[in-house]
Amino acid sequence: MIVDRYLPALDAFVLTADEHSAVTSALASPDPWEWNPGGAQSIAIASVKTKIRDYHLARHDNKCCYCRVNLHGGGHFMTDREHVLPKSVANYRPLSYTMWNLSIACKRCNMEYKKNRTDFVVALNDASLLQEGANYRFIHPNFDLYREHLSRFAQEVDETVIVKYAVVAGSAKGAYTYDYFNLRGLEVNSFDRAQGLDTREVPGEAAQAVRSLAASFGQ
């Protein structure tokens, strides 16, 4: 059973009859995501892909589903439609247009870290578990609520920036996601390196740190 943790809900996603027909034809082809027969069907499949991107951007407030970097206004140079179970793996190719297996990610997370890996799946070939959040070692973009596992704090004023991640205490998924996508590599503290912020501090403490830094700027 799907446990959908975001809005708009996955089961409210709607395609036109033409779009639905194009997806059916694409899935019958050897490479469904790249299927491009030309003409009206290609226009329909392009429309489906745009709808998928916009829908998942809305579900994640225009943020990358893995690192929470803001994708607003970034366009296709910054944003990828993300297949959680990779479409390059034959077993998962039928899920190329399945909404629960799709999300939105930044190029860094998708192309540098996620790639075609499947090591984040606990039981790779048990179809009955693929819609269970517990079957994924990282924070699943549709089945897990990100903030229950990991928080990203950012404050930026001109050239001074602080970005910190805080794993929610006791969340194995939060810790796994932090490591899997090397989120440490995104952390910055140019406000005051003597603040002594600890990478794994609890969210409340990190939030307080960001508030006090903001206050020092008179915000």
Instruction: Please report, as ranges, the residues that interact with Zn ion according to CB under 5 A.
Output: 64, 66-67, 106, 109
Q: How far is the CB of 57 from Zn ion (least distance, A)?
A: 13
* Closest to Zn ion by CB, 186 or 213: 186
Output the smallest distance, CB 126 to Zn ion, in A: 28
Q: Which is nearer to Zn ion, 105 or 197 (CB)?
A: 105
- Report, in Å, the least distance between residue 151 CB and Zn ion: 15
Instruction: Name the residue nearer to Zn ion (CB basis): 106 or 197.
Output: 106
Nearest distance from C-beta of residue 107 to Zn ion, angstroms: 8
Tokens of residue 70, six digits: 């803001």
Residues 6+ apart with CB under 8 A from 183: 67, 150, 152, 165, 177
Nearer to Zn ion, 44 or 57 (CB): 57
Write out the two tokens for 191: 């406000």
